[in-house]
Amino acid sequence: MKAVYTELHRSHDPQFFLVRGIVKRTTEQPERADRLLAGLKAGKHRLVEPTSFGQGPRARIHSPEYLAFLAEAWDAWSALGDAGPEMIANVHPVRHTATYPTHIVGRLGWHTADTGCPIGPGTFAAACAATDVATTAAQLVMDGEDAVYALCRPPGHHAFRDVAGGFCFLNNSAIAAAHLRLKHERVAILDVDVHHGNGTQGIFYERPDVFTVSIHADPAAYYPYVWGYAHERGAGPGLGANLNIPLSIGTGDDGYMQAMDAARRAIEAFAPTALVVALGLDASEHDPLRGLAVTTPGFRRIGQALARIGLPTVLVQEGGYLSDILGANLTSVLAGFEEAR
């Protein structure tokens, strides 16, 4: 399996992370990619440089106001003269009959759902590079590759059409799915990150052409808390095209595989002709944000289950944070996929 990757992700190096009132350094660090690269090397995957697709793929998913904000944000923040070393909002309007702000502090709050996505001088460039990685992987699959892995950083599945959150700025998985839609009438996205893919759900919630499925830790006790419940099934034309499978905190391999079986049956019923996997590795028993307890052999089983869905597949890297086992878990899931193919 080919793997798309660029070093441009390194320009995003966030420091701030607020956890239950405690400021820590974020777990979304450039070193994540180094550990994932080690996992790719162990699996003997060939690295491919991404193609630059410009703004087009991003504009299919994200609003013009949001893209303009991300492009202009750092310069406007720096011009304040008394601002901190990273952009972190101190106001989050919840859109109750509000006017779109013109001041950078107001725009920052408008376009961020939480404090988990600090913006630095290289954030937008890295996020754009990640969308090129995802789009290149989708294009390779459209051109005939059976499956391609996209090492995207920063991740994307918490990003809505016009809101960043949870380490995510641009929704790489959604962008890959929209690119696949240029060829495929129906596409499925299966999110196996420990956190619910709330941004992806929100983007496609009223669309009948993209089936979104998320297997994740119970949002009643885990981020993002206010999305990811089983009763959220889509709306309007998209009613029935969203499936959430929340799992009890601490669920291990066998319980996870039961959820995978349910996801596979639902995807088969939708009858798409291409699949995007939002590949979170943070369901690991060793992940620092641990909510589930999947083992390294369990990730091999997940890879096998993904392969058995039997569709052309783009695997987009989402979560999976700094642990000694991160690279091994990537090697395991991709090996399982290749074995079952």
Does the annotation count 158 as an active-site position? yes
What's the rounded Cα separation, in Å, for the pair 172 and 291?
A: 23
Q: Please give the order of strands across the beta sheet that includes 242-247.
A: 46-48, 2-4, 147-150, 313-317, 274-279, 187-191, 210-217, 242-247
What's the rounded Cα separation, in Å, for the pair 79 and 103?
A: 12
Of 12, 111, 157, 158, the active-site residue reads 158
Residue 156: both structure tokens together: 């994307």
Pick the closest to residue 122 from 9, 7, 5 (CA basis).
9
Pick the closest to residue 286 from 229, 329, 243 (CA basis).
329
Please, are residues 339 and 297 in contact by the beta-carbon 8 Å criterion?
A: no
Residue 340: both structure tokens together: 């079952």
Q: Say whether the peptide bond before residue 85 is cis (omega within 30 degrees of 0).
A: no
Does the CA dihedral 45-48-54-57 come out positive or negative? negative
CA 250, distance to chain mean position in Å, is: 21
Block residue for tokens 């091994």: 328
What's the rounded Cα separation, in Å, for the pair 144 and 265?
A: 25
Residue 48: both structure tokens together: 């491919």
What's the rounded Cα separation, in Å, for the pair 46 and 256?
A: 29
What's the rounded Cα separation, in Å, for the pair 157 and 198?
A: 7
Active-site residues, by number, are 158
